[in-house]
Homo-oligomer: A and B are copies of this chain.
Amino acid sequence: MTPVTNGRLLFNAYPDGLPQPGKATRYDGSQTIDPDTVPLNGGFLIKTLVLSIDPFIVAKMRPKTPGASLLAYTIGEPIEDYGVGVVLRSENPAIKAGDHVYGVQGGAYPFAEYVIANDATQYRVLEKKDKLHWSVYVGILGMPGQTAYCGWKEFSKAKKGDVVFVSGGAGPVGSLVIQLAKMDGCKVIASAGSNEKVAFMKKIGADVPFNYKTENTADILKKEGGIDIYWDNVGGTTLEAALDSAKLGAKFIECGMISAFTSDPLGGTRNLFTIIPKQITMNGLSVSLLIPKYEEEFYRVVSDLIASGKIQYGEEVIPSLELGGEALLAVLTGTNKAKVVIEVAKE
């Protein structure tokens, strides 16, 4: 009966370099909504609980291009990623009040405290496992976890004893890759950008965790005798070092190239030629294309592994949507501690 604030994190301007809070993004508290009476027109009203901050956000901060694979944000509208919320009211028979939903496919859940949705196929109704916070469902049980799981199963062709290198190994994708690789009997080299992250990678099983800011990636890979599988979350000179250290027939899984956003975006991969004499297979990984094949298996297998403690995860909870811009910057520059989620509301 009483309108409440519907806080939103808006896309404010195309970034020049890194997306600075207050410039590229802007928190807006001017919109109000009455959850009890707002018309749903056959849809459903979601109260947002948690939102994910993932690097792909910055790739959508650009002018709209016809045919582009990632939809660009609209200036003045909320940025989008994945989120979990609780349904307050529903006029859609597939969704009922009290349901917890994960969405939106393609990472289009708007950064707003309240969301009116109408396409139930864009959301998954979650079954909550005991003891797991909803934030887990945008992390290791959400898109990042699916990325790791689907990509590893589809492309790694891992054999026992393979040497695997994971960059960004402390992140939500990389940390699951490390654990899946260990389960397959591989030796795992893993890099991250702080000693705290290195300690986390060691804890979850990495054999050779290292801080790429204080150690030389190429030297480490050389010392370990080359790699059979490279899981790339960063691109740039790390990818070049991996190409130089790849063994014959190596598999490269290209999951992210975050350095393209934080380093010189004009710098290309200078030794891509290496894939020819070494007959390397390089697979670009777009999780949305693999989810139909792996979704049910993923939720079944990984939920159990997490609930039983066989797989561990890290999480850094940001307590307010107003801090979303700072959280994005931290993820892009690596000053975050672990997978960043925004707790928008408690239940």
Contact = CB atoms under 8 A, between A and B. Distances in A.
B272 A257 contact: yes
B272 A272 contact: yes
A1 interface: no
A289 B255 contact: no
A268 B277 contact: no
Given A69-B248, A281-B281, A281-B283, A254 B268 contact: no
Contacts of A285: 276, 279
A300 interface: no
A282 B272 CA distance: 11
B268 A276 contact: no
Contact of A268 (B248, B269, B282): B269
A193 interface: no
A235 interface: yes
Contact of A282 (B255, B256, B275): B275
A35 to B, nearest CB: 36
19 contacts: A69-B248, A69-B278, A249-B289, A257-B272, A257-B276, A266-B270, A268-B268, A268-B271, A275-B283, A275-B284, A276-B284, A276-B285, A277-B286, A278-B284, A279-B284, A279-B289, A280-B283, A281-B284, A282-B283
